[in-house]
Structure 1
Amino acid sequence: MTDELALTSAPPVDEWRLPVGARLLHIGPHKTGTTAVQAALFEIREELAGRGIYYPSYDRHPMHAVLAVTGRHSMMGDDPPKQHHWDRLLEDLATADAQTGVISSEFFSEAEPEAIARIVEDLGGERVHVVVTLRPLVKILPSQWQQYVQNGQRTTYENWLHHMLRVPPYEQPNPSFWRRHRHDRLIERWVEVVGRDRVSVVVVDDSQPDMVLRVFESLLGLPDGTLPAVPVATNRSLSLGEIEMVRRFNVEFRGQDELPDNFYSRLVRYGAIQRLKEARTPVPDEPRVTTPRWAQEEAVAVGREMANRIASSGVRVIGDLELLHRQLPDAAEESTSTALVDPEAAAQALFGAIAAVPTLNPVPPAPPVAKPEKVGVPVHKVRSTELVRILARRVRRRLLRR
């Protein structure tokens, strides 16, 4: 029987609180409030240590360590994960052995059963308590597609939805999607290792923005309001025009074989896209990515099936499982908005890419003065495709020299 608890303004701390010295393992999945939790824990990590709670991370979450232990690849162009990243995390936890440890990363959601067994054993076996945060699939779809596009994907939203929802075995173009977001099976994989008594499912209610923070306070025995709501500009969704600009760039980028992947990582993801998110706020009437009605109905049906299986799994549920199969009120028959790029968005993206150029290679010393050479073709008369090839060759030579 599911121990389903309704969230109130004063959560039952004693009932939800984990034992002192436990290892709270927050496994996501993606797009379920993970950034809010991680940003809050990271913001007050020193205060938490004084309260007997250790949050080991050199950033908001230990992504490389988790990718290493789960055997997953890094994002396009990023440095590959290494075993020493995971070993370092374990060493950090060992220094705070008696304290309650909190490890949060949405990339745990992609772990296979063998990796789950190793993770749980490495973190202390019976000391591990798994927390899964969930949001309705219908709200996850557009956010997750955007994330894939920001990692180099070229597929349109409508085409992506068609393949993810209507083309068996529903693995292309992103095999990771259903591993992350078939939430009932995700929970079952972890229950198989840790048992139902040490798994808590938190259904995030978007009408209560700080709800997930209050739940984590209760799990950790913290006073209400301890975990702050930390704004994270880089976590905002892109507008329709912004994300289409990125997607169409991906099409051009993938057509240039000479461009290395870390060119994309440095200049696009951590240059143009990051600048867009940090320096620009879309106006209220700017078109957003919308999910057509047929896809919403498919997602709601899957959400209902997942909610029923979770309810019968015996895990502790905090929140309302019915939220997982509630359809959005603004469903359209098809996505008909025109993707127009605001000039400010284009300017910010271009500036971000240019500002990131020094990260590709240190600025070389000024070359010696050479004799005048024969003047070539002016840049403005070179075709754009040829100019891209020239730039690609130059960047590649610099990277190889480095």
Structure 2
Amino acid sequence: METDCTSNDAVAPAKLSALPPGTRVLHIGPHKTGTTSIQGALFGAKEKLPAYGVEFPAQSRHPMQAVLAACARTGMIGDARPTERHWTRLVEQVHASGRRTSVISSEFFADAPDDATIERIVEQLGGERVHVLVTVRPLAKIMPSQWQQYVQNGLRMGYEEWLEHMLRKAPYEKPNPSFWRRHRHDRLVERWVRAVGAERVTVVVVDDRDRGGLMRTFEALLGLPRNLLQPVPDTANRSLTLAETEMLRSLNKEFRSNGLPDELYSKLVRNGAVIHMKNICSPTPRDVKISTPGWAVEAAAEIGAEMADRIALTGVQVIGDPGLLSAVPEPAAKPAGEREGGRDGEREGERAGEARIAPEVAAHALYGALAAVAAGPGGTSARPVHQTPSKELVRVLGHRCLKRLRRR
């Protein structure tokens, strides 16, 4: 099924005009729409941008703490709560760019809880100088990436059950109420249109078939030379494979059942085991990817068609083909060795595409957690534990690590 919802007003990237000099370009994401790639490219070109009248005012690739504070978000599980000081510093950096065009990019702007918060963000960043940029992708491509990201933040629910909650069990707020606030893209656009007006909102439909298309669109809108923005590799941002995600989901269950503190999860799991595993281990063609069942793909396409229609009604500028939001992707072809018959001696589980974690991947994840412990004060100390029950040992270790974190 593919619904013809292409707007007559959609603009091809090649025909774009640059935004007026001095614009505050506010890229609000949402998540999983190329935000990390754009942020990395802009930060990588930070020293070159002023020559073309453009500034990237943030001091890091992604000013996440500042935006979380502005949107009254607590951040990732176990992390320190952002403060208003983070946001004030970013606002000061934006104002310091003077008459230059400045770009502020964070997918967490999409989490702004209400119109009053959005209006305050716009006013503090420059009022009428603010132009909102929204990047969107088909839901069927966002859902697997977003699910595994939620698992990295402690989710214990399997993918198909999660899809049931998101698509079939109204009011669709459990277990992740942030999902539809971010990814009901039509309503996201409408909220920001209420704050700045349709003439100051641009929606970019990301086409995954055109790998450089999003970079070229940003260059055109900012008045930059073609190919100035280049991808910056970021292994820490790669998606997990199905086996990696299931391993982490099992760990999440154990973590919660033993009542361990969130701060420990942040340090040892997300910023220890997971980060080290993603940095060291690259997925191979034999790794099983997260696959969305057909019923969910069809449901996502129907919602995509509704979103495209409602976005068109807002009167905002749309760059790219809105029809992509309702397109049903073709099933991925299996590698030759996994087709009918398989390889000689291949096990049935492998032919069925069973998710299996490689021993070296598990070892790197474990090492990442151990390294995080060793990095803390007194991390190399040890005492005999062979007579301690395993559950009690885990609980004691958790509280000891938490105590060290608090001292630090």
Scaled by the length of structure 1, the TM-score of the pair is 0.91
Determine if contact 1:65/1:81 at 8 Å carries over to the other structure: yes
Determine if contact 2:281/2:361 at 8 Å carries over to the other structure: yes
Distance 1:166 1:99 in 2: 47
Distance 1:160 1:51, change over 3 A: same
What's the counterpart of residue 371 of structure 1? none
What's the counterpart of residue 351 of structure 1? 367
Distance 2:182 2:381 in 1: 50
Query: Residue 45 of structure 1: SS of its match in structure 2?
Result: coil
Query: Residue 312 of structure 1: SS of its match in structure 2?
Result: helix
What's the counterpart of residue 151 of structure 1? 153
Determine if contact 1:163/1:170 at 8 Å carries over to the other structure: yes
Q: CA deviation at 1:2?
A: 5.8
Distance 1:303 1:399 in 2: 44
Distance 1:27 1:365, change over 3 A: closer
Distance 2:176 2:332 in 1: 24
Q: CA deviation at 1:395?
A: 2.0
Deviates more, 1:88-97 or 1:182-191: 88-97
Q: Deviations over 1:78-104 (max 9, x none)?
A: 111100111101111122111111000
Determine if contact 2:57/2:97 at 8 Å carries over to the other structure: no
What's the counterpart of residue 54 of structure 2? 53
Report the AA paired with residue 358 of structure 2.
Answer: D
Query: Residue 4 of structure 1: SS of its match in structure 2?
Result: coil
Calculate percent identity across the aligned residue pairs. 54
Q: Deviations over 1:253-297 (max 9, x none)?
A: 11122x221211111111111111111112202111100111111
What's the counterpart of residue 91 of structure 1? 92
Q: CA deviation at 1:385?
A: 2.2
Determine if contact 2:27/2:103 at 8 Å carries over to the other structure: yes
Distance 1:118 1:397, change over 3 A: closer
Distance 2:399 2:110 in 1: 39
Distance 1:58 1:363 in 2: 32
The number of equivalent residue pairs is 383
Q: CA deviation at 1:339?
A: 3.0
Structure 1 residues not aligned, in runs of 5+: 368-374
Residues 1-400 of structure 1 mapped to structure 2, 5 A cutoff: 3-7=9-13, 11-12=14-15, 15-111=16-112, 112-257=114-259, 259-330=260-331, 337-359=353-375, 361-363=376-378, 379=386, 382-400=388-406
Determine if contact 1:296/1:331 at 8 Å carries over to the other structure: no
Distance 2:72 2:8 in 1: 33
What's the counterpart of residue 372 of structure 1? none
Query: Residue 26 of structure 2: SS of its match in structure 1?
Result: strand
Distance 2:192 2:379 in 1: 51
Determine if contact 1:76/1:261 at 8 Å carries over to the other structure: yes
Report the AA paired with residue 356 of structure 2.
Answer: L
Report the AA paired with residue 385 of structure 1.
Answer: K
Distance 2:190 2:381 in 1: 60
Q: CA deviation at 1:398?
A: 2.9
Q: Deviations over 1:224-249 (max 9, x none)?
A: 10101111111211111101011110
Query: Residue 314 of structure 2: SS of its match in structure 1?
Result: coil
Q: CA deviation at 1:356?
A: 1.5
What's the counterpart of residue 346 of structure 2? none
Report the AA paired with residue 285 of structure 1.
Answer: R
Distance 2:70 2:284 in 1: 41
Q: CA deviation at 1:364?
A: 7.2
Distance 1:36 1:160 in 2: 27
Distance 1:161 1:365, change over 3 A: closer
Query: Residue 356 of structure 1: SS of its match in structure 2?
Result: helix
Q: Deviations over 1:187-211 (max 9, x none)?
A: 0000011000111000000001111
Distance 1:362 1:2, change over 3 A: farther
Distance 2:328 2:389 in 1: 48
Report the AA paired with residue 254 of structure 2.
Answer: E
Query: Residue 132 of structure 2: SS of its match in structure 1?
Result: strand
Determine if contact 1:292/1:331 at 8 Å carries over to the other structure: no
Distance 1:29 1:364, change over 3 A: closer
Determine if contact 1:110/1:176 at 8 Å carries over to the other structure: yes
Structure 2 residues not aligned, in runs of 5+: 1-6, 334-351
Scaled by the length of structure 2, the TM-score of the pair is 0.90
Distance 1:322 1:281 in 2: 33
In angstroms, what is the RMSD of aligned CA positions?
Answer: 2.0
Determine if contact 1:291/1:331 at 8 Å carries over to the other structure: no
Query: Residue 240 of structure 2: SS of its match in structure 1?
Result: coil
